[in-house]
Amino acid sequence: MIEDFAKIIIVFITVGLPILLIFGRPFVRQWLDHKARVLEVEARLAAETAAQYAVSNKALEDRVRVLEQIVTDGGLETAAQIDALRKPRLTGGESRQ
């Protein structure tokens, strides 16, 4: 019984393993190519997301810079600068003033 099992293992190693390596190689290559494409797409997506965050951060930095200037400068222009920062709000087609 053990001898039969040993013979099966030896036959698999000498015949089955080389066949598996020869015919399984294209499948492994396809899998590796697929993984490379997935990583490329993920890298492009990460770069695009990083660029969007950079633009968003730049806009926030600009707003903070203006707010810092308003707080530290004071003076007559403060109200005009604050009004310039506000976005016009439209309700029902009319603008509020």
Give the contacts of 32 (CB within 8 A, at least 6 positions apart): none
pLDDT at residue 63, as a whole number = 87
Which pLDDT score is estimated for 76? 62
Q: What is the CA radius of gyration of the chain?
A: 34
Span 14-69, pLDDT tens digits:
888 788 888 888 888 899 999 999 999 999 999 999 999 998 898 899 889 888 88
Domain ranges of the chain: 2-86
At a CB cut-off of 8 Å and minimum separation 6, what does 63 contact? 85
Spatial contact of 35 and 47, defined as CB atoms under 8 Å apart: no
* Per-residue pLDDT reduced to its tens digit, 58-97: 889 988 988 888 777 766 677 777 777 776 655 544 444 4
Single-letter residue type at 12: F
